[in-house]
Amino acid sequence: MTLTNPLSCRRNDFSLPPDTHYLNCATRAPFSKAVEQAGYEAVRRHTDPFGLRPADFFSGAVTVRELFARLINQPDPDRIAVIPAVSYGMGIVARNLHRKPGLRPGQRIVLIDDEFPSDVFAWKRVAEELRLEIAFVPKPTGFPQTADWNTRLLEAIGPDTALVLCPPVHWMYGNRFDLEAVGRRAREVGALFVIDGTQAVGALPFDWRSIRPDALVCAAYKWLMGPYTLGLACFGGFFDEGIPLEESWMNRIDSQEFHRLTDYQPTYRPKAARYNMGEHSHFIQMPMLEQALRQLLAWQPERIQEYGRRLLADALPALEALGCRIEPEGSPEQPGRGHHLVGVWLPERVGTREVQPQAVQQALLAGRVSVSARGRVLRVAPHVYNDERDVAAFLNAIRLELHG
């Protein structure tokens, strides 16, 4: 895909040092200058809380929910909840799994292989309590992997499936999953469909209305470009009358009427509001996340993807010439990898020398190049603040480390 209005490099919008080459947004996004400024202004506002109104406890989150709803093409912002972490969002799903119609012992929770721990640990206790099984869909060993992995996932979803959890892209390797196909298959067999969008939403287009999941959970500090210990989740109709993880006073109707708080209102605010974390006002961090979401809506995820594609277009064949393996980008008909998160599989040996990804990562850090080592993969995660100099520094460092 080539856009008619592609993004140019936005490095000047960030305060990254000129001698660093940060290709590691999948670990932690840097704050832009605008997000940084929003944080400074929020701190200054709250050095003197005189005049703080009850409505101020709610208004920031309302705006953020509206912006996130636009980003994921969710027409109803009331389906968005503020959460502290992915584990919290998955905990909500696990807490409510027993409510699923037709649930019975022996059914399976289907996950992909090498999934992130927060997407695995959430199910162990509930699986034991409800006598369910946890099944991992194995990653293919050959290359390319993505099409076969998608096929295996779809084949693993059947009448014995209670829940499917799948990300848009694999957090280590960058393989893309066909969420629309997975969603259709889950609905056919009556399974819940849950997505951890942390490593994609914000940098990869996401369409709630086309994918139709039951829940989408995202941490804010990666591709949403926001602060740590803050996240957003979107919950479908199954969760409208569900059980929250905590009983926050802010999640009840009329809770903005501070003079009536001891009336102890039993009724929750509608839809996803019951799942908001306690103290979700986040007076300092919420304005920062608001600014980050406004940036992403202006940059547009499809343009971020295209920027990553152009940025790495020459480097990836050069890495393959050095003995690395990289998943093809695929096509609309054949899933491949994303352009914002690319797994570079290092050769196991160069000559008689064994290649250790962690050692390669440390050598790159010494040269002021930041990527992540995950298993045998270097995870390269560029964004709009990166330019050709960053890619050249990474490529030269890899070449030197592998072949001297």
- Give me the chain's average pLDDT, please: 94
Please give the pLDDT value at position 335.
82
pLDDT at 1 over 60: no
144 preceded by a cis bond (ω within 30 of 0): yes
pLDDT (tens digit, 9 = 90+) per residue, 280-308?
A: 989 999 999 999 999 999 999 999 999 99
The alpha-carbon radius of gyration of the chain (Å, integer) is 22
Q: Long-range pairs for 119-124 at CB < 8 Å and ≥24 separation? A: 119/86, 119/90, 119/165, 119/167, 119/196, 121/87, 122/87, 122/90, 122/91, 122/93, 122/94, 123/94, 123/163
275 in Cβ contact with 233 (< 8 Å) = yes
Please give the pLDDT value at position 74.
97
pLDDT at 278 over 90: yes
pLDDT at 59 over 90: no
| Domain 11-23+300-403 top-level CATH class | alpha beta
3-state helix, strand, coil in the chain (%, to 5): 40, 15, 40
**Beta-carbon count within 10 A of 33 CB:** 13
Question: What is 300-325 written as a DSSP string?
Answer: -HHHHHHHHHHHHTTHHHHHHHTT-E
Confidence (pTM): 0.94
Question: Percentage of the chain surpassing pLDDT 70?
Answer: 99
Please give the pLDDT value at position 2.
55
Q: 55: pLDDT confidence band, cut at 50, 70 and 90? A: confident
pLDDT at 359 over 80: yes
Q: Is 393 helix (H, G, I), strand (E, B) or coil?
A: helix
Q: Is 365 helix (H, G, I), strand (E, B) or coil?
A: helix
Task: CATH 3.40.640.10 in the chain: give the residue spans.
Answer: 39-297
Using CB atoms within 10 Å of the CB of residue 341, give its burial: 0 to 12 exposed, 13 to 18 middle, 19+ buried.
buried
DSSP E strands in 157-307: the ranges are 161-165, 192-196, 215-219, 231-235
Please give the pLDDT value at position 333.
74
Please give the pLDDT value at position 352.
82
> Look-up: residue for tokens 């660093």?
20
pLDDT at 343 over 70: yes
Of the given ranges (152-166, 314-328, 351-365, 377-391), which has the lowest mean pLDDT? 351-365
Task: CATH 3.90.1150.10 in the chain: give the residue spans.
Answer: 11-23+300-403
pLDDT (tens digit, 9 = 90+) per residue, 88-135?
A: 999 999 999 999 999 999 999 999 999 999 999 999 999 999 999 999
Please give the pLDDT value at position 313.
95
Residues in the chain: 404
Q: What is the dihedral of CA 224, 371, 348, 308, to 10 degrees?
A: 60
Non-local (6+) Cβ contacts of 24 within 8 A are 370, 371, 372, 379, 381
pLDDT at 4 over 80: no
Q: 350: pLDDT confidence band, cut at 50, 70 and 90? A: confident
- Would you identify the CATH topology of the domain 39-297? Aspartate Aminotransferase; domain 2 (3.40.640)
Mean pLDDT computed over 232-258: 94
372 in Cβ contact with 27 (< 8 Å) = yes
197 in Cβ contact with 206 (< 8 Å) = yes
Mean pLDDT computed over 136-144: 93
